[in-house]
Structure 1
């Protein structure tokens, strides 16, 4: 977007652009979200920034009226596969807090000086400033949503000391942490009333939101590791849903539950987490947002998809469809390799058998008592637990051995090209596997799994338009979402229920 496109967006107070850029006003020294209800500033006083960190660096403070840090994340970090986009995915996952700038630079293949120059040029702020803004955003969420002690909020947000926490909150919001907490009470945001040792947080997102992503996760849920309610409603309806699971985080184990209740105005989507090390909370929140694709811009995506006559009715019936992400990249690769060329039910059965290699966990949500096996556990016990063709078993165990030995390492900081270079040499891994992992781990928005059986079945239920391409290039860069529509159509056809 150029300057005047963004200026028209803030003049219209368009909520669709919240989180996609920030508006700084030189006459007030404040930066806002695009939908800020304040009077539209004069164009000569306005500067637009890609990130809130860039506005901090330029000397602006956050608006107390519109709270720009309380917006959904930026969809560009999944859309972009350049260094800046890959760096932001890792920063949001807490890599700088755990490994520092040197660790982030090493993961991206650059020196710290080069990385600082790239991010400063592309995003207006260096990696430390970007991480600092991410911590401030997490701290604000915890302050207004929970009754945690201020010291606990400081360390849960990634700060190294309470003094650093107080200084940052004061610089970013021009308020003390106590005053920031008071804004949550004034706005009516619910405090966490969960049991001791657990937290409940609201998850912001852009409307519309298709709750069918809960059904996608439910039919693939592995007993003991995941639990989800299954809906009997027609596809496209937004009834209440829940999804829970256990997972490993950098400092320890955790379990979480995401609940969706559209009848609760203003906060229908909530995260409840138990038994989590507070230092892991930013990583958990980032991964849950990735799992449910909460940073997507559904109106822009649906607008592009609806222009394809094959998808027009599907988009109208299922607005706001999401691409499910992954909370553990290595786990997702194993799931993808097991699920190749077999049904979803057969894959779930195989994964349930394989889950016996995982270790037990205490203090998780009811019905969750096990962690998904680590790569080392899979390498040791996989041959005894897996069933099926020997070649497939050998391929899965070989991938687990490579990950356990550190020879295969991939994650949120990869691009589609680097992911392919790492995975394609593995036996049993082909273009479908790479594409599926890219969709769910990287959040790559433009993957079309043309050879997928469910995609082909979904195509048969859509209107036939011969003059359009078979790979849906007309809707690029949103072909991953077209794939989701085709999967949904195939699932509806398999159930024999009428499409909405």
Structure 2
């Protein structure tokens, strides 16, 4: 697409106030000096007064301030960074996970295998700003959340958001939001209340989004001690850089495409990382229009997609955790995998200083698992060896599963670990690395659904690119409806899925 055609395409989205494009790009208006979401309800500017930016950081670097009406800094993230596998997309995923805050641009470059100069050139070449500017925009958004949802002193907000000084904090807030921190706090906003380190946020998604379904799926796999499900709220322990945190997630009462997140953090400077991992776990940044457009056009899936528009792929806050749980779940039921994982927590997990309800431990880190005595877990010798081989490979860096990992390299590295086959490696990519185009080879539940739809495994593996991960969720919903919320529509019944005693529900390996 030419630059002119791209400008026209984006301007049509702005003129139509199309919320589907929120987060994909930002609209900057020369005459007002502000930047907005495409769906901003303000009067549509003239085409010649508009510029478009791929990131909020790019608009800020060009001298524009965030619109106070549509709050573009709080828009859903761009799905582009999850779909793409190139170094810029991997860098964006790592920046979102707080890598620049933890280890600076040098650490970000090392994680990606590039020099600082190479990485800066690539990121600036595509986005117009470098990693530091992108991290700065993220700090500004974290600061705004803390200002508006807590009663923390401004100095505490500044350092919790990652700023090096109060002056830098004040200057950035004024520049980005055209208001002082004190003025932002004066604006009406929900109070968080609760203990220090506690706050409540609303995490937005692109509609349609069925929060209840996503949370039910996560709740059905909940591990006692690590996760909790009460039928409407899913809670879990997060292993964060500066100490464990607890998040409780429930459908937002005031918005169809949003989730309410109640966070309890050891240190508030982990807020940005916690939000990023929750968004990844809930698949909030997906583009349902693109997914449903491809899958819904296939005759085999058309009715299924029509009954569940916008279906998401529930993930994991950290891919190494998902990898360990995938190995534990090989050739056992979901209930069996939950039991085995729960036994693992007191052996190698980090105990919370004080239990939160039934939550007691953070998930074990690879370094602890690699040296733990797993003899009492109830694993076979082969499974125990596979688990510790995986943990050792993760701890040594032979298998990299961070948000910036090269997905193809991760697959090859996983397959090199004895005891891990194609199904397990694919599940890690699908629910751990958030790869939108994964097929699970040999999955029995998928085969059952494909048979009912008159399709085959080989056909399906190629027909639904680049959204095969979402096709997997639709087919799992046919085979195991108890993991999903939507009952069959009385006027459009789903295909009859034959049941067999050996066909596993989602989560069991067919290896």
TM superposition score normalised by structure 2: 0.89
**2:473 aligns to what?**
484
CA 1:289 to 1:268, structure 2 compared with 1: closer, same or farther past 3 Å?
Answer: closer
Deviation at 1:220, TM superposition (A): 1.4
Deviations 1:310-339 (A, max 9, x none): 222222222221112222222111111111
**1:454 aligns to what?**
445
| 8 A Cα contact 1:402 1:408, kept in partner | yes
| 8 A Cα contact 2:147 2:185, kept in partner | yes
| Aligned positions of 1:435-446 closer than 5 A | 435-446=426-437
Q: Distance in 2 between matches of 1:146 and 1:311?
A: 46
- Is 1:250 the counterpart of 2:241 in the alignment? yes
Gaps of 5+ in 2: 490-511
**1:306 aligns to what?**
296
**1:342 aligns to what?**
332
- Is 1:330 the counterpart of 2:320 in the alignment? yes
CA 1:397 to 1:194, structure 2 compared with 1: closer, same or farther past 3 Å?
Answer: same
| 8 A Cα contact 2:398 2:413, kept in partner | no
Q: Distance in 2 between matches of 1:459 and 1:199?
A: 44
Q: Distance in 2 between matches of 1:316 and 1:267?
A: 18
Q: Distance in 2 between matches of 1:109 and 1:77?
A: 18
Deviation at 1:469, TM superposition (A): 6.3
CA 1:56 to 1:422, structure 2 compared with 1: closer, same or farther past 3 Å?
Answer: same
**1:235 aligns to what?**
none
**1:81 aligns to what?**
85
**1:42 aligns to what?**
46
Q: How many residues align?
A: 482
CA 1:447 to 1:312, structure 2 compared with 1: closer, same or farther past 3 Å?
Answer: same
SS of structure 2 residue aligned to 1:330:
helix
CA 1:173 to 1:264, structure 2 compared with 1: closer, same or farther past 3 Å?
Answer: closer
Gaps of 5+ in 1: 231-240
| 8 A Cα contact 2:16 2:39, kept in partner | yes
| Aligned positions of 1:344-493 closer than 5 A | 344-357=334-347, 358-461=349-452, 463-464=453-454, 470-492=459-481
**2:21 aligns to what?**
17
SS of structure 2 residue aligned to 1:203:
strand
Q: Distance in 1 between matches of 2:234 and 2:175?
A: 37
SS of structure 2 residue aligned to 1:256:
strand
| 8 A Cα contact 1:274 1:364, kept in partner | no
Deviation at 1:153, TM superposition (A): 2.1
Deviations 1:239-262 (A, max 9, x none): xx211111321111211111224x
| 8 A Cα contact 1:194 1:200, kept in partner | no
SS of structure 2 residue aligned to 1:341:
coil
Q: Distance in 2 between matches of 1:453 and 1:382?
A: 33
| 8 A Cα contact 2:209 2:258, kept in partner | no
| 8 A Cα contact 2:197 2:267, kept in partner | no
Shifted more, 119-128 versus 31-40: the winner is 31-40
CA 1:73 to 1:111, structure 2 compared with 1: closer, same or farther past 3 Å?
Answer: same
SS of structure 2 residue aligned to 1:192:
coil
Which of 21, 29, 35 is residue 31 of structure 1 equivalent to?
35
RMSD: 2.2
TM superposition score normalised by structure 1: 0.91
Q: Distance in 2 between matches of 1:266 and 1:477?
A: 27
CA 1:61 to 1:317, structure 2 compared with 1: closer, same or farther past 3 Å?
Answer: same
**2:216 aligns to what?**
215
Q: Distance in 2 between matches of 1:38 and 1:102?
A: 41
- Is 1:259 the counterpart of 2:260 in the alignment? no
**1:238 aligns to what?**
none
| 8 A Cα contact 1:146 1:201, kept in partner | no
**2:494 aligns to what?**
none
Deviations 1:14-71 (A, max 9, x none): 1111111011122222211101122222222221111011111222222222221121
- Is 1:204 the counterpart of 2:204 in the alignment? yes
Q: Distance in 2 between matches of 1:62 and 1:198?
A: 26
Shifted more, 312-321 versus 75-84: the winner is 312-321
**2:287 aligns to what?**
297
| 8 A Cα contact 1:202 1:267, kept in partner | no
Q: Distance in 1 between matches of 2:156 and 2:250?
A: 25
Which of 120, 129, 136 is residue 133 of structure 2 equivalent to?
129
**1:234 aligns to what?**
none
| 8 A Cα contact 1:70 1:141, kept in partner | no
**2:62 aligns to what?**
58
SS of structure 2 residue aligned to 1:411:
coil
Q: Distance in 2 between matches of 1:388 and 1:290?
A: 30
Which of 262, 266, 289 is residue 272 of structure 1 equivalent to?
262
Deviation at 1:305, TM superposition (A): 1.7
